[in-house]
Amino acid sequence: MTMTMDQVLSGLRAAGEETRLRLLALCARGELTVTELVSILGLSQPRVSRHLKVMCDSGLLERVREGAWVFYRLAHRGEAGALAHAVTGLLPDDDPVLARDRERQNEITRVRAEAAQAYFRANAAQWDALRRLHVDDAAVEQGLLEMLPPQGITDLLDVGTGTGRVLLLYAPHIGEGLGIDLSREMLGVARANLDTADARNCRVRQGDMYALPCEEHSRDAVTLHQVLHFAEQPVAVVRECARVLRPGGRLAIVDLAPHDLEDLREQHQHRRLGLRADEVAGWCADAGLTLTQTRDLPGKPLTVRLWLARKQAAPALDTSLLTRTEEPAA
């Protein structure tokens, strides 16, 4: 269903103001809170909130509440989402006002990343112990093995490998495993764990989950274990995982179901208080993956949720369309 002329005009009116265009440009680059937007724009919170409400009402922006925080992001689906992307696509990259906004947004992103990395550095050696405070690792690992059986996996990629626990779990049964993490301290712990287990078929390297150091179609399985609740742009992470999957390859996601434990955000730098089933399904669909299985592992007080998605297999060759080359007549 396409937009009516009135809907298009309504959307354009909602975007047709300098501050709103700046907000659209910022939200097109990632999810932001009102406080962060106020800091970037240097405007009062009531004024920014009024502009955000207008654009949410028009469908140009999406408003997502997670506990005490509210995030704003550019709409991704529907006709209003297409209009939002079209409008932001027309904005000039060299505009001095937008360039200044981007610099301030980059600074906010840098501070966030530093806070997360500081947490990882402070807790690298105790990371597995911290997980056990919230979930039963043995049950989660068994659920992961059942959902993504290791038999037949030639190349496994574990994104955000942390202490390398997923690699250790799969190492005895797979061809090769590669763990990617941004934290050098985490990689040091993972390397030590792999050495202790003599898991010579697995290795780790520093890398960004938004730009995986892997070629396209190079992995037949990818895992994201307790990673996406830290991600600024989880849909971009899922897309990147899909990029490196071979046709028919599988992506396994392990994360927390939605919860209201604010201390995980305040003390442990969780960006999201769990992941909704529908949003993960949307991220997978956006990346060209088909969600095939979901499983909940209830805990006290947190529930761990597992998702399995598959990349479409390459179409089989129709041999009936091939013609035999005849030998020329003598």
pLDDT tens-digit map of 125-165: 655 655 655 667 888 999 999 999 999 999 999 999 988 99
Residue 223 contacts residue 254 (beta carbons within 8 Å): yes
H-assigned helices in 148-233? 165-170, 184-196
What's the confidence (pLDDT) of residue 281?
Answer: 95
Closest by CA to 259, choosing from 250, 251, 268, is 268
Please tell me if the domain spanning 5-91 has the same topology as the one spanning 126-311. no
Is the model's pLDDT at 108 over the cut of 80?
Answer: yes
Mean pLDDT across 88-104? 93
Residue 241 structure tokens: 């995982």
Cis bond upstream, residue 328 (ω within 30): no
Cα–Cα distance, 262 to 70 (Å, whole number): 13
What's the confidence (pLDDT) of residue 330?
Answer: 45
DSSP code string of 299-312: -SS--EEEEEEEEP
Please name the amino acid found at residue 283.
Answer: W
Percent of the chain past pLDDT 90, that is, above it, reads 51
User: Strand 245-256 vs strand 289-297: parallel, antiparallel, or unpaired?
Assistant: unpaired
Q: pLDDT grade, residue 230 (50/70/90)? A: confident
Percent of the chain past pLDDT 70, that is, above it, reads 87
Is the model's pLDDT at 116 over the cut of 70?
Answer: no
Residue 225 structure tokens: 């274990």
Chain-centroid distance of CA 274 in Å reads 13
Q: CA–CA distance from 153 to each of 61, 99, 140, 170, 221 (Å)?
A: 40, 45, 19, 9, 7
What's the confidence (pLDDT) of residue 290?
Answer: 96
Per-residue pLDDT tens over the stretch 161-196: 988 999 999 999 999 999 999 887 788 888 888 888
What's the confidence (pLDDT) of residue 126?
Answer: 59
Contacts of 206 by beta carbon, 8 Å cutoff, 6+ apart: 180, 181, 182, 184, 187
Write the DSSP symbol of residue 200.
T
Per-residue pLDDT tens over the stretch 43-88: 999 999 999 999 999 889 988 876 677 889 888 767 888 888 899 9
What's the confidence (pLDDT) of residue 242?
Answer: 98
Helix, strand, coil share (%) of the chain residues, nearest 5: 50, 20, 30
Beta carbons within 10 angstroms of residue 130's beta carbon: 11
What's the confidence (pLDDT) of residue 272?
Answer: 81
* Sheet of 69-74, strands arranged across: 32-33, 69-74, 61-66
CATH dotted code for 126-311: 3.40.50.150
Give me the chain's average pLDDT, please: 86
> Helix, strand, or coil here: 276?
coil
Listed by start position, the domains of the chain span 5-91, 126-311
Residue 244 contacts residue 217 (beta carbons within 8 Å): yes
Q: pLDDT grade, residue 254 (50/70/90)? A: very high
Angle between helices 277-286 and 234-244 (to 10 degrees): 50
Cα–Cα distance, 304 to 136 (Å, whole number): 9
Residue 144 contacts residue 158 (beta carbons within 8 Å): no
What's the confidence (pLDDT) of residue 111?
Answer: 82
Question: Tell me: domain 5-91, CATH 1.10.10.10, correct?
Answer: yes
Strand partners, 204: 179
